[in-house]
Structure 1
Amino acid sequence: MPRPALDPIDRQLIALLREDARAPTAVLARKLKLSRTTVQSRMERLQRQRVIAGYTISVPDELEASLVRAHVLITLVPKQSAAIEQALRKIPELRVLHSVSGPFDLIAIVAATSIGELDALIDRIGALDGVERTTSAIVLSTRIDR
């Protein structure tokens, strides 16, 4: 699919939605100095073009900081990537999944409420059919977060 061209108003709209994805259309329209129907039609077009692929939530820092996070490096049995991805999508503690080059096939970023839960989560990932090996690294602190 060709990459859609975004005009300056589209970019401003996207920036506003990044700040607050639940902002009412009327508020967005007022900030952009456009009519509500114009903003609504732009949002619908951006969704059709998959520029906006969804809306998300932001968890307060104090809640997220209480979780134990880890990066789980996953090596797969050949040709099992799609099935493993489907299984991993069902794990709510999984925050991000990257496909990578190098000695590992995937890197999963996970979060759990305790070391015990993290241990069980990593065991669950390792037990998935098609996972050959996992290696994990617990995040001790975040030095830079952009």
Structure 2
Amino acid sequence: MQTDETDEALLALLADNARLPVAMLARRLGIARTTVQARLDRLENAGVIAGYTLRRGREARPMIRATALIMIEPRRQPEVLARLRSLPAVIEVHTTSGRFDLIATLTATTTEELDDTLDRIAEAKGVRGSESLVHLSTKIDRRR
């Protein structure tokens, strides 16, 4: 779906604060409330807007983040993914090419919690090996 300048301005406002009421969006864009609602409906139906979410503030975020690089045995991905899904510290998982099969992003409030999660990943059936990288400081975050 092709978006125009008004759609892009609307998306930028929502990216900054997805809780803005339609009336406020309309005022900021200088268009009618019904027009904003119609554009939102169209963008949602086309999949341009997949949903609205919560971004935690710096104080509410877990203090420790890590990446786990995971090697799995052939044809064991469904079992490994089920295990990763069951671990609350695992916030996203991606398949990848190269030496590792999966990349998991983890969050924890303590190093003990992170260590426990890494142990649970390593002991999962189908995991051949893993390597972890603890995130130290954020230099660029375009999601904010």
Question: Which range, TM-score by smaller chain?
Answer: 0.7 to 0.9
* Residue aligning to 2:46: 49
Gaps of 5+ in 2: none
* Aligned counterparts of 1:86 and 1:10: Cα–Cα separation in 2: 38
Gaps of 5+ in 1: none
So what's the TM-score if we normalise by structure 2?
Answer: 0.86
- Structure 1 equivalent of residue 94 of structure 2: 98
- Residue 62 (str. 1) matches residue 52 (str. 2): no
Partner residue, 1:26: 23
Residues matched between the structures, number: 142
Question: What's the CA shift string for 1:10-32, capped at 9, x where partnerless?
Answer: 11111011000111111111111
- 1:78 deviates by 2.0
Normalising by structure 1, what TM-score? 0.85
Identity of aligned residues (%): 44
Query: Alignment partner of 2:107: what SS?
Result: strand
**CA 1:44–1:81 in structure 2 vs 1: closer, same or farther (change >3 Å)?**
farther
In the aligned structure 2, how far is the partner of 1:43 from the partner of 1:91? 34
Q: 1:98 aligns to what SS in structure 2? A: strand
Q: Structure 1 residue aligned with 2:76, among 77, 80, 100? A: 80
SS at match of 1:21: coil
Supply the distance in 1 between the matched residues of 2:109 and 2:8 (Cα, whole angstroms): 37
CA distance in 1, matches of 2:136, 2:31: 46
Match of 1:131 in 2: 127
